[in-house]
Structure 1
């Protein structure tokens, strides 16, 4: 079987994860990841991201559904899967008194076909810190050490759970570049992150989880394109909203006015912007403060979360994902990704 032309490496079908007391953290999700793809799982805290990844890593058994990684059950056939994957957890538990180099060598002794410790440290930029005790590392450096250990076994599948938390901008960019290189070399990567810019920059495809269900899935561009673009400007002196050309004819789907500032929403950005600028040219007026932009992944994420909760504005509350589909290719659906 293939996903987007790639052989499937991760297959998740109707996955459920239930904790003690009957709390259902993952409520029947389905998705797949192809070989050499980078797939991002997004969602607010408690959406079910880590609960899903732990099942894929073989750290927990599903309460229902089926999971396959590299063709095997990662929990029931752990011995067949574990040597071929790399795992970077949200928090590592390193012996604080060991140095960085000692930690990597210790971990390498437990890893099949481990790459040299020096090579692993070079990948994450920690060579100069190899003699420093773990307890003296910054939070960002500890995350880089986590990544070095995940890469020791040259994994075919790499699980990254919040990999850049605590990193500064330079460290984050360096990690992104390394992850891109690994993907380009054929490594399959499943990433969870709270940094939407990270997912937008890195992911081939993504899924947005909400309350244990998949609320939307597709490429970053597809998910973003499902949301309206925005145009804002100041009305010229002496003009009023009624002086503008008929907004419906410009493809405007919604608008609001605050003082002299007009904000338009549109699913046809080029058509709307062109019509507006042609009108301004013919009227010989300047549209001050003109701002034309497509929706960002952050805006799409927040809107999808609101829609999934049945909230039309403001903060995200309790609720259930609504069925919908976008002509852009992004899917918003209840419980499954196809």
Structure 2
């Protein structure tokens, strides 16, 4: 296991004038939710997520020596066009990670990024976007220091991604990723995400996630603000303890393949996340009427057909429909027949569990 101090390099053995790298990194969907953070992007409770496969950000990083070093120098393109409103977030990210990547001011960067999912589709792109950028920056550091081990490369990439967007650390490597210190999960850390280290039953292999795009508008309360509202929340401490308990329960569930218990925890976690929002001060609701309609129809379908399908929610109105691969046809028929009418423009995205970041 590495600590933050291990990620501060002494010196580099190589020099490089210019070049480019390209990586993709996926979005992820938390099963046990992280809500509330301490200083420096440290989570108030641990979380575990499925890494997605198709919903990803592809980022090309071109770089050349910066003759006027002393400041961060970068251009940002989104889908080939300059995107000025993204730049302050990248500037802040660079400031946070400079001590870990001391070469940042030595180069001018051109960051060219695009998403495989529709822009403003209501899928958070900060996790995939920040992890894709972190992968590229680590690839440059590896070029400057070829002796770097693979383990160090991926753990530092996850560590850096976290400093851009907390959940981004879960998008670097692995099908199932744990982030946050959990006594019963070997190697788990608040500093970076780690691949879930124990046995996972075949029931969870190639698990499906169909994302129903209920509302594509901008959230009225950002996740950053929502996390901050946990500081004085009346139920915060109990919630943080509950996350630890649920993560412990999932260890046995993943091993034995108990879908009924999996569904209970996943849906309870989703509703608890939104309960925290509704009971903070100020309080807010990110679910929409159609979110509730979808949830009720999923419950009815599951009861009537005994199909192991469930929902989870991020900090927004969209619904992630989770189910094993062996009921895919049946669930997709149900989604098309009963749920797409509740989606904005009848839009939904079919995804499944993926492997993490990929270099092109």
| Fold match by TM threshold 0.5 | no
Which of the pair has more CA radius of gyration?
Answer: 1
Normalised by the length of structure 2, the TM-score is 0.26
Higher helix share: 2
Bigger RCO of structures 1 and 2 (CA < 8 A, at least 6 apart):
2
